Amino acid sequence: ALPLALFAGPCQLESRAHALEMASALKEIAGRLGIGLVYKTSFDKANRTSANAKRGLGLDAALPIFAEIRESLGLPIVTDVHEASQCARVAEAVDVLQIPAFLCRQTDLLIAAAETGRVVKVKKGQFLAPWDMKNVVAKVLAAGNPNVLVTERGASFGYNTLVTDMRALPILAETGAPVVFDATHSVQQPGGQGTATGGDRRFVPVLARAAVAVGVAAVFIETHQDPDHAPSDGPNMVPLGELEALLRNLQAFDRLAKA
Amino acid sequence: ALPLALFAGPCQLESRAHALEMASALKEIAGRLGIGLVYKTSFDKANRTSANAKRGLGLDAALPIFAEIRESLGLPIVTDVHEASQCARVAEAVDVLQIPAFLCRQTDLLIAAAETGRVVKVKKGQFLAPWDMKNVVAKVLAAGNPNVLVTERGASFGYNTLVTDMRALPILAETGAPVVFDATHSVQQPGGQGTATGGDRRFVPVLARAAVAVGVAAVFIETHQDPDHAPSDGPNMVPLGELEALLRNLQAFDRLAKA
Amino acid sequence: ALPLALFAGPCQLESRAHALEMASALKEIAGRLGIGLVYKTSFDKANRTSANAKRGLGLDAALPIFAEIRESLGLPIVTDVHEASQCARVAEAVDVLQIPAFLCRQTDLLIAAAETGRVVKVKKGQFLAPWDMKNVVAKVLAAGNPNVLVTERGASFGYNTLVTDMRALPILAETGAPVVFDATHSVQQPGGQGTATGGDRRFVPVLARAAVAVGVAAVFIETHQDPDHAPSDGPNMVPLGELEALLRNLQAFDRLAKA
Amino acid sequence: ALPLALFAGPCQLESRAHALEMASALKEIAGRLGIGLVYKTSFDKANRTSANAKRGLGLDAALPIFAEIRESLGLPIVTDVHEASQCARVAEAVDVLQIPAFLCRQTDLLIAAAETGRVVKVKKGQFLAPWDMKNVVAKVLAAGNPNVLVTERGASFGYNTLVTDMRALPILAETGAPVVFDATHSVQQPGGQGTATGGDRRFVPVLARAAVAVGVAAVFIETHQDPDHAPSDGPNMVPLGELEALLRNLQAFDRLAKA
């Protein structure tokens, strides 16, 4: 198996300057660790808990920034798509189209993403059993695109809580698609703060270590230089200053898991 | 409180003839019972478990049929919308736009539906706590549309199973929006048949009676003259021949609950 | 079907005077309503969240009080048993032995209770599927005692929360045993207050109406003249002063459900 | 932190010969690996799904066998206790008293086990949040016994399914008690075979690796030379012939986790 890869970045695209700064910092860390990096950022948070929450820069402002990060830093980029009509345009500026968990069964979105020819990274719905992702993968494959990734990010467990079932990782691998473990959203407490989603970043390293020990192709970790003041997912983002040590530890577990 | 109303129809729009036949039959039943009826049908099943499953007639073919049902039978119509761009066009032909459960937090879709001025009926996500629907309702209200309905249809409970928490009904009512109980999708077993979603229609009357006794504005019940040969949701649709007796019973419970 | 019966009383046996007062008050209410009453009280709360919580008077002090209630008021009594060795002695003083939910699969306890010849009322474990209660009922029947009741009291739903699946009621009825709905413990929030179990009595009438509408043999409702100062289960006991109106409403639903 | 220890043995005490054979085989494996071993076996399966299932040899027959294993092989022994009255007698023959998960809140049992002075190993109930185990540990400590172990073995997740929340491991560690991960019962499907409990041993190594990577004091793994013909827990026991390789792998993860 290939060594562990990394999807990382801040939750939202906050500004051109912030994006370039975060991407540069992550590129340096990835270089020191020799870990493959895909830069993650969202141009639109389309399903915020509350209508008053910040949604991001929007597609028009984001595309030139994505292009600049790819050109100046040579980093591949992953971003979310929310409607079928966005896929073609977003695909021009990014390498990986991510299908949000709530939308993982929207056939038109999956097909439109697949038809761009870009890698399609599908997050497993919080409402879905791991064995049901084979139908989701089949929708992408049937659209002629073999480059599909599946992502574990927790399952609904009572109200306002997610639980990660580590058995899901080998079950997802049976789809044939590489499995990514999203350590950030797995520790969310959806809606747990009334008009915002909570979380507990203390458990990011716990779940990430467990998943890497079981065996995954990549981890997805949102990070921010100041998570407590980030516009979204602050409670579950890892501070940038702690990321390198965490990744170094995960790489050691990955080598052992794949030995 | 107003007496119990009914949202009913087959899961899918199968053909013009089938739609007119079902709508006529339901109109007769509703007339005999004196129950308010909104005819439900879907022009597109956009999130089928498998890409090979039938999706319905599509928007272009459906709109004239919706118009014909409204004109010839005088029935209001509810149908699902899946992308923001569909809302304006669908709104010309129907009275109620329904937001599917998986999409209940897609802000753009909620706003686009709200801006049509039609009634917006939002299904609570399987992944959402009932108290979190207040944020969803607020998104519709903030878009200037006070005509919003909320629908209970079960919460994720382990894998491939939903459970209906009857406490959700009074909690949903605290949003100020009338509460609809969807007795059809609450008995689904999502993905429970491998490449299709299962269910158990034996429990439709059980859950419907419980919900009406607690107190709801309306019930939503999918029905079909031959559910075992219907193209979708067959295992949980009520046979048309059994609907009138079920409704008569629910009306009795409704009168008692609202006495 | 027989009309709805009632199991009611305070959670704990607090003192002889309190027990006689509560039992008298309940007997009067039951007489006015024409509802069959079994008086419930516990001599020992054997599984309190914290070791520091009050456990009750104990078996030796309780038995003469049970006898006095039966003789002076003519009321049948139900109480919990926790170990096989208690059953014979408790059976001399009460009419119904209740098996706590955590203990519903303890074979020796079920058999010892069954062998007393008293009615055995088993609470379904929070960890048990409703169809698995058939094995529990079979253990009592195999011990030669046909007088077994099964009780629904919620299923684990994430952490510190229970959910009541109303489908469980007809499934439990398939065991052949009369089904009791415990409206008090179904609204518990186990461990939800750190060192005590919380709850929300607002939902007692909600769940009780739903269950009675579906159809049950009896309801179980803990009550207290001053629940907020009761030594256990205060948050989910119904104030004695509100019980009669609640029961009158449930009786109306019961008549309709069994019409 | 101390290196990983092991609780292992067959689910049931089947016979003297079988017990001595299994214990010898496990002692040899543990010797080769340099892993601390506590031999596990049950004299009574007191909560079988069905009353017709085999329960084991019983206490009288088991105690001399326990004594023989301790003397002839020098192995410490762990076994379950089910009623307070058993504890003193069992404590004479074993080193660790295990409190079954269903019984983890039975105050008398916890105190009686604690008062023997033996190590008390408590399994977390399937219905309990991990933070609620602090109250359970406090009951043992308050009885004057500081030697308490806590065990993770999965939480109820819908019907007939358990899920292991790896976040529970550090939360349990906050009690101060060493944490044991039970990889055998975490893969149970309670009641999942109608009149027996199912499971899937494929996931034992998956969950065990995850737990050891997060960090635990010991793993608990039931094993049998022929699990498919064992009288209980067959579907989730590891074949004896596969145990050594599994443990060697877990030890490597443990060294990394504790580096």
Sign of the torsion formed by the C-alpha atoms of B191, B192, B198 and B200: negative
Find tokens 């699990």 and name the residue.
D227
Give CA B156 to chain center in angstroms.
18
| pLDDT of amino acid B235 | 87
Q: How far is A206 from chain D (nearest CA, A)?
A: 6
In contact, B136 and B110? CB cutoff 8 Å: yes
Taking CA–CA distances from B156, the nearest residue in chain A reads A127
Instruction: Give contacts of D250 with chain A, Cβ < 8 Å.
Output: none
Task: Report the C-alpha gap between B51 and C25 in whole angstroms.
Answer: 63
- What is the predicted pLDDT for the residue at B57? 85
Residue D69's SS3 state is: helix
- Tens digits of residue pLDDT in A126-136: 999 999 999 99
Q: Tokens representing C241?
A: 């002063």
Q: Which residue of B has its CA nearest to A190?
A: B128
Residues of B with CB under 8 A from a CB of A: 46-51, 55, 82-85, 102-103, 105-108, 110-111, 125-132, 135, 138-139, 142, 155-156, 159-160, 190-191, 195
**pTM of the entire structure?**
0.96
pLDDT of residue D70: 96
The half-sphere exposure of A164 on its side-chain side, counting CA atoms within 13 A, is 32
For CA atoms D217, D223, D228, D231, give the dihedral sign: negative
Mutate to test the interface with B, among C128, C167, C202, C258 (most CBs of B within 10 A): C167
Q: How many angstroms separate the CA atoms of D7 and D185, rounded?
A: 13
Residues near B146 by Cβ (< 8 Å), separated by ≥ 6?
none
CB contact under 8 A, A166 and D253: no
Tokens of C143: 């011990």
Which of A128, A166, A202 is the best substitution to test chain D (most D C-beta atoms within 10 A)? A166
Segment B166-175 shows an average pLDDT of 97
The pLDDT value recorded for residue B48 is 81
Mind listing the pLDDT tens digit for each residue in D84-115?
A: 999 999 999 999 999 999 999 999 999 999 99
What mean pLDDT value characterizes chain B?
A: 94
Average pLDDT, integer, range C58-82: 94
Residues of D in contact with A167 (CB under 8 A): 187, 203, 206-207
Cβ-Cβ contacts under 8 Å for D123 (sequence gap 6 or more): D98, D99, D100, D101, D104, D151, D153, D182, D185
pLDDT tens, residue by residue, A112-127: 999 999 999 999 999 9
Q: What is the DSSP string of C39-57?
A: EE-BS--TT-SSTTS---S
- Report the relative pairing of strands C218-224 and C5-9 from DSSP bridges: parallel
- Closest residue in D to B156 (Cα–Cα): D158
Residue B166 has pLDDT above 90, yes or no: yes
Give backbone dihedrals phi and psi of A129, rounded to 5 degrees, phi first: -75, 150
Chain A residues contacting B via beta carbons under 8 Å = 46-51, 55, 82-85, 102-103, 105-108, 110-111, 125-132, 135, 138-139, 142, 155-156, 159-160, 190-191, 195
Of A85, A132, A195, the CB nearest to B85: A85
DSSP string of C175-237? TSS-EEEETTGGGEETTTTSSS-EE-GGGHHHHHHHHHHH--SEEEEEEESSGGGSSSSGGGP
Name chain C contacts of D190, Cβ cutoff 8 Å.
127-129, 132
Q: How many CB atoms lie within 10 A of CB C190?
A: 23
**What's residue C31's pLDDT?**
98
By Cβ distance, the residue of C47, C110, C160 closest to D105 is: C47
When pLDDT is averaged across residues A227-250 and rounded to a whole number, the result is 92
pLDDT tens-digit map of D161-204: 999 999 999 999 999 999 999 999 999 988 866 777 778 899 99
Of the listed ranges B42-56, B164-178, C83-97, the one predicted with least confidence: B42-56
Residue C21 Cα, gap to closest chain B Cα (Å) = 32
Cα–Cα distance between D238 and D254 in angstroms, integer? Answer: 20
What ipTM does this complex have?
Answer: 0.95
Residue B77 neighbours by CB under 8 Å, 6+ apart? B38, B39, B40, B41, B66, B69, B70, B93, B94, B95, B96
Show which residues on chain B lie within 8 Å of chain D, measured between beta carbons.
Answer: 157-159, 161, 163
DSSP reduced 3-state for B57: coil
Q: What is the mean pLDDT of chain A?
A: 94
Q: How far apart are CA D147 and CA D131, in angstroms?
A: 19
| Gap from A158 CA to chain D (nearest CA, Å) | 9
In this prediction, residues A50-77 reach a mean pLDDT of 90
Nearest-Cα distance to chain D for C186, in Å, is: 14
pLDDT band at A70 (very low <50, low <70, confident <90, very high): very high
pLDDT at C68: 95
Mean pLDDT of C131-156: 97
Structure token digits, residue D147: 């030697």
Map tokens 């019961």 to a residue.
Answer: C254
Query: Is the pLDDT score of A38 beyond 80?
Result: yes
Nearest chain A residue (CA) to C160: A158
Q: From the list C107, C127, C191, which residue is nearest D156 (CB)?
A: C127
In the numeric block, the tokens 């092989």 are attached to D73
Q: What are phi and psi of D171, to 5 degrees?
A: -65, -40
% of chain C exceeding 70 in pLDDT? 99
Identify the CA nearest to A104 among candidates A51, A77, A140, A157: A140
Longest dimension (CA), chain B: 49
**Of B36-50, B174-188, C52-66, D226-240, where does the model show the most confidence?**
B174-188
Sequence-separated (6 or more) residues with CB below 8 Å from residue A224: A10, A11, A22, A230, A234, A237, A239, A240
Nearest to A84 among B83, B106, B129 (CB): B83
Would you say B133 and B122 are in contact if contact means Cβ atoms under 8 Å apart?
Answer: yes
Look at residue D192 in the predicted model and tell me its pLDDT.
Answer: 67
Start-end of H helices in A74-132: 87-93, 107-115
Answer whether B214 sits within 8 Å of C209, measured CB to CB.
Answer: yes
- The model's pLDDT over B69-105, given as tens digits with 9 standing for 90+, comes to 999 999 999 999 999 999 999 999 999 999 999 999 9
Q: Given an 8 Å threshold on Cβ–Cβ distance, is B210 in contact with C206?
A: no
Dihedrals phi, psi of B183, to nearest 5 degrees:
-80, -15
- pLDDT at position C4 over 80: yes
The residue-averaged pLDDT of A85-104 equals 96
Nearest to B90 by CA among B71, B70, B123, B118: B118
CB atoms within 10 A of CB D57: 20
Cα B217 to Cα A75, B40, B55, B208, B254, distances in angstroms: 54, 16, 30, 12, 9
Q: Is the CB of residue A142 less than 8 Å from the CB of residue A113?
A: no
Minimal CA separation from C192 to chain A, in Å: 14
> What amino acid is encoded at A16 in this protein?
R
CA distance B194 to chain D (A): 18
Round the average pLDDT of chain C to a whole number and report it. Answer: 94
Distances, alpha carbon D71 to alpha carbons A166, D26, D31, D75, D146, in Å: 40, 15, 17, 8, 26
Look at residues A192, D227, A208, D106 and name the one whose alpha carbon lies nearest to residue B135: A192
Cβ atoms within 10 A of the Cβ of D193, count? 13
| A161: chain C residues, CB-CB within 8 Å | 158-159
- pLDDT band, very low/low/confident/very high, at B193 (cuts 50, 70, 90): low
Unique residue bearing structure tokens 């439709």: B204
